[in-house]
Amino acid sequence: MDSDTFKDFANEMIEYIINYVENIRDRRVLPTVKPGYLKPLLPSEAPQTPENWKDIMADIERVIMPGITHWHSPKFHAYFPTAQSYPAIVADMLSGGIACMGFSWLASPACTELEVVMLDWLGKMLDLPKEFLSSGGGKGGGVIQGTASEATLVALLGAKARKIRQVKEQHPEWTDNEIVGKLVAYSSCQAHSSVERAGLLGGVKFRLLEVDSKYKLRGESLAEAIRKDKEQGFIPFYVVATLGTTCSCAFDRLDEIGVVANRENIWLHVDAAYAGSAFICPEFRYLMKGIELADSFNFNPHKWMLVNFDCSAMWLKDPTYMINAFNMDPLYLKYDIQGSPPDYRHWQIPLGRRFRSLKLWFVLRMYGVENLQRYIRKHVEQAREFEAMILSDPRFEIVAEVVLGLVCFRLKGSNDINEALLKKINDAGNIHLVPSKIKDMYFLRFAICSRFSESKDIQNSWKEIKLRTDEVFEEQSVSK
Nearest approach, Cβ of 8 to a second copy (angstroms)?
10
162 or 354: CB nearest a second copy: 354
- Determine if 367 is a binding residue for a second copy (CB under 8 A): yes
DSSP 425-450: HHHHTSSB-EEEEETTEEEEEEE---
- Determine if 44 is a binding residue for a second copy (CB under 8 A): yes
* Contact call for residues 186 and 222 (beta carbons, < 8 A): yes
- Determine if 66 is a binding residue for a second copy (CB under 8 A): yes
Nearest approach, Cβ of 309 to a second copy (angstroms)?
6
Among 185, 316, 364, 402, binds a second copy (CB under 8 A): 364
Binding to a second copy, residues 272-291 (CB under 8 A):
none
Chain-centroid distance of CA 127 in Å reads 20
Q: How far is Cα 431 from Cα 73, in angstroms, rounded to an integer?
A: 9
Among 25, 27, 28, 109, binds a second copy (CB under 8 A): 109
* Contact call for residues 101 and 107 (beta carbons, < 8 A): yes
Binding to a second copy, residues 236-275 (CB under 8 A):
246-247
- Determine if 328 is a binding residue for a second copy (CB under 8 A): yes
Among 171, 210, 369, 455, binds a second copy (CB under 8 A): 369
Measure the CA dihedral 409/412/414/418, to 10°.
-40
50 or 394: CB nearest a second copy: 50
User: Closest by alpha carbon to 409, among 274, 249, 260, 171?
Assistant: 249
Q: Stretches 198-206, 232-240, 383-391, 472-480: which one binds a second copy (CB under 8 A)?
A: 198-206
Alpha helix stretches (DSSP H) within 234-356? 254-264, 301-304, 320-326
Measure the CA dihedral 88/91/93/99, to 10°.
-130
Among 54, 56, 413, 416, binds a second copy (CB under 8 A): 56
Nearest approach, Cβ of 168 to a second copy (angstroms)?
16
Among 75, 119, 120, 185, binds a second copy (CB under 8 A): 120
- Determine if 404 is a binding residue for a second copy (CB under 8 A): no
- Determine if 137 is a binding residue for a second copy (CB under 8 A): no
Q: How far is Cα 362 from Cα 219, in angstroms, rounded to an integer?
A: 40
* Contact call for residues 313 and 167 (beta carbons, < 8 A): no
180 or 316: CB nearest a second copy: 180
- Determine if 405 is a binding residue for a second copy (CB under 8 A): no
Helix 415-428, helix 455-479: angle, nearest 10 = 120
Amino acid at 82: T
- Determine if 197 is a binding residue for a second copy (CB under 8 A): yes
DSSP 70-115: -TTSTTB-SSS-----HHHHHHHHHHHHH----SSTTT-HHHHHHH
Q: Stretches 78-86, 281-289, 383-391, 452-460: which one binds a second copy (CB under 8 A)?
A: 78-86
Backbone angles phi, psi at 398, to 5 degrees: -90, 135
200 or 388: CB nearest a second copy: 200
- Determine if 58 is a binding residue for a second copy (CB under 8 A): no
Strands 296-299 and 267-271: parallel
DSSP 3-state assignment of 37?
Answer: coil
Binding to a second copy, residues 164-183 (CB under 8 A):
175, 177, 180-181
175 or 459: CB nearest a second copy: 175
Among 137, 172, 233, 330, binds a second copy (CB under 8 A): 330
- The mark string for 11-30 relative to a second copy (x by CB under 8 A, - otherwise) is x-xxxxxx-xxx--------
- Determine if 117 is a binding residue for a second copy (CB under 8 A): yes
* Contact call for residues 225 and 249 (beta carbons, < 8 A): no
Among 29, 74, 75, 84, binds a second copy (CB under 8 A): 84
- Determine if 140 is a binding residue for a second copy (CB under 8 A): no
- Determine if 452 is a binding residue for a second copy (CB under 8 A): no
* Contact call for residues 395 and 411 (beta carbons, < 8 A): yes
Among 259, 349, 417, 467, binds a second copy (CB under 8 A): 349
Among 54, 61, 62, 98, binds a second copy (CB under 8 A): 98
DSSP 3-state assignment of 178?
Answer: helix
- Determine if 391 is a binding residue for a second copy (CB under 8 A): no
- Determine if 55 is a binding residue for a second copy (CB under 8 A): yes
- Determine if 202 is a binding residue for a second copy (CB under 8 A): yes
Q: Stretches 254-262, 432-440, 455-463, 465-473: which one binds a second copy (CB under 8 A)?
A: 432-440
> In which element (H, E) is residue 396 found?
strand 396-398
HSE on the CB side for 105, CA within 13 Å?
12
